[in-house]
Structure formats: structure tokens, C-alpha cells
Amino acid sequence: MSMSYGFTPQQQELIEQVREFADTVVRPASYEYDTKRELPYGIIKQMGDLGLFGLPFPVEYGGSGGDYVSFCLAVEQISRMDQSLGVTLEAGIGLGAMPIMRFGTEEQRREWIPRFASGEALAAFGLTEAEAGSDAGGTCTTAELVDGEWVINGSKQFITNSGTDITRLITITAVTGRTTRADGTVKKELSAILVPVPAEGLTVGPAYDKVGWHTSDTHPLTLTNVRVPEANLLGERGRGYANFLESLDEGRIAFAALCTGAAQGCLEEAIRYAQEREVFGRALADNQHTAFMIARMQARVHAARLTWLNAARQMVAGEPFKMQASIAKLTGSEAAMANARDASQIFGGYGYLNENLVARHYRDSKVLEIGEGTTEVQLMVIARGLGLAGAGL
């Protein structure tokens, strides 16, 4: 990164290390695994050996002792070359492991965090259902306490990292009670419960046939009388969704870093190709229109990186960052989508071939405007932060 973003020497070293790994290990294998639609477990192991999964966790829990900014920097660099691997890292830590670090008991942290920090195991978070995503009130999955065990019934969908060979835990949000308000309406009590994998009664459905993110593992889940100990409650009873929203705010920062990495990858490819490709006897880059397209791509990357860095630094400093996280996610996802479109246009016909990195970014980037809160949700959060009456639901 040629511009100064105020990184520490340790962070700059991390960037260079992960960038080299992404260029020499991830990129050469990306198309092969995308075509096979398989998660490259060998590369995941190497990422674990590099300490990438442990970056935001204290050493006492088997982590690398870094901070959240460092974790996001790693996500960005991996995502330059492969968004599927980027989201495997981002979701496995941001949504899977971080809620345990934030809200788990000491026993839960010591049991699970070292395994996730090493990369030997992956965690998932099961929130979304057919009628419940941003609207958690639509949650239908239930968990009833019977003889010291939670008995869970229901289904989840679009759950990342839920069916890999190394998935060892899925945190499920479920209705654990109901209360009737004064006006007669019923309020659902939502709690988060840890479900070790495999579990009797837990069925992982076939992987989705997705437009992009072919290497990322995503499945529907069905839970039929799944029983786990009462002690597997994560955080306070009734605080499952509220705690998840806090984790989601953090996760959106890492997701924005993923978006920035995708936008950066498209920029680098566009520059390289425009300088190499000759049209009518001169380099494509000598065409002012092409040069201006690439200049706009650089501006988008810079803005995206600044927004996620700002949000991450406020989070690390203990300052409010909810609106900043949504700004980062909005800015980053739009930058990735726009840069993928422009890079594909610069490549022409070659930009429509799946073997081309920019073509895969073009397919992959659409979901960046949907996952971890749609563009519309981010606008709603930002508008609410501004105190606007028409901010949403």
C-alpha cells in the first residue's frame, strides 16, 4: 500500500507477509477450487499456521495477541485473491468465534477459542431463517429447557462455515420463551445456544448452488430435538439477538475490509492489463478514458480502506462505532461491485472468463451488498444514527 494509513511496523510486516501468501499460495489455487466448489483445507491449515485465525485473540487463549485492525488487514489481503477464503476467515472469527470471546463464560472461552484460533476448527453462527434475517422477530426455531438440557427444534439457512470437514460448533439463536405485553402483543425471548458438531438431530443440508463464493461453505440446517447441556447458553438468556447485533457491528468492519480487498484486487489487475494490452498500436492505459476509469477505482479503494480503518480504530479504542461500521460496509461493498464491473470492462472478453480473477470478483461481489446486512439495512442504521424519523422499521 503506497499511501500512508498510519500502520504500526508490526501491522506493515503482517500486510507484507499475508500479501505474499495470497499472491503465491492463494492465487494459483483459486480458480481450481472455485471450479471444484471445494474449500481448500490445505490452504486453511497454512492460514492457521501463519496465525491468521488467532490474530484478534489474546495469547492466553491460543491467539496471536494482535488487535482487530490486524485481523481486518489479513482479511483484506486474502480477499484480494479469493473472496471465498476471505469470508471463511472473516465469518469463522467475526461471527463464529468472537461472540464466544465477548459473551461466553471463561470455561466456554478456554474450551473453544484455542481451537478456532489455531485454524484447526471452524465455527458458524446460525441466525437467518426463511422468515427471519434482519427481522429477528420472525425467528421460529425454539429451545426448551428440559431436565437440564436445551431441546432445539427448527431450521436455519444461508449459514457460512456450517458444513465443512472442520466445523465443530454452530451457535444457534432460538426462542426460549415468550412474554405478553400490556397491549396484548407477544414478545419473543431470543437466546444464543452453542451446538457442538456433530450433534444428534442436526442435519446439514446440501450446499447451495450460488452465483459466486463457490469455495465458501454455505448450507441450510435442520434441528430436530437437538439436545445440548443447559450450560451451553451463550451469554444471558434473552440477550441472544442483542449480543449478536454487537458482534455483527464488529463483523461488518471485517466484512468491509473483505470488500476493500476485492476492490483492491480488481484495481491491481486492471492496472496490469491496461499497461500490457495494446490497442491500435498503443497501450490501453494510454487511453484517457481507461486511465480515468482506473483513477476512480483507486479513489474507491482509498475511501473504502479509510472507512473500515476508522471504524476499527474507534472499536479498538472503546469508542462508539455502530454507524461507522455501517458506513464502512456500505462504502466497501459498493466499491467492490463498481471496481469489479469496471475491471471486467477493461479486460473486455477476457473479463467474462471464469479463469480470470476479475470475472470471479464480479460474480462474488454482488453478495457483498447483501451479506451481513443489506445495503438498505446499512442505510437504515446510518439514518438512525443521524436521528432521522424516517430511518426504517
Q: Which residue has the cell 475490509?
A: 257
Give me the torsion for CA of 326, 56, 11, 253, rounded to 10°: -10
Catalytic one of 129, 268, 334, 372: 372
Three-state SS sequence of 23-40: HHHHHHHHHHHHHHCCCC
Going by DSSP bridges, is the β-strand pair 149-160/167-180 parallel, antiparallel, or unpaired?
Answer: unpaired
Residue 283 grid cell: 497501450
Spatial neighbors of 152 by CB under 8 A, at least 6 apart, are: 141, 142, 143, 172, 174, 193, 195, 201, 223, 225, 226, 227, 228
Residue 379 in 3-state DSSP?
A: helix
Whole-number Å distance between alpha carbons of 213 and 216:
5
Residue 118 grid cell: 489455531
Residue 104 grid cell: 461466553
State yes or no: is 372 an active-site residue.
Answer: yes
Opening angle at CA 310, ends 304 and 314, nearest 5? 150
The answer to whether the beta carbons of residues 177 and 164 sit under 8 Å apart is no
**Exposed, middle or buried by CB within 10 Å (0-12, 13-18, 19+), for 263?**
buried
Q: What residues are annotated to the active site?
A: 372
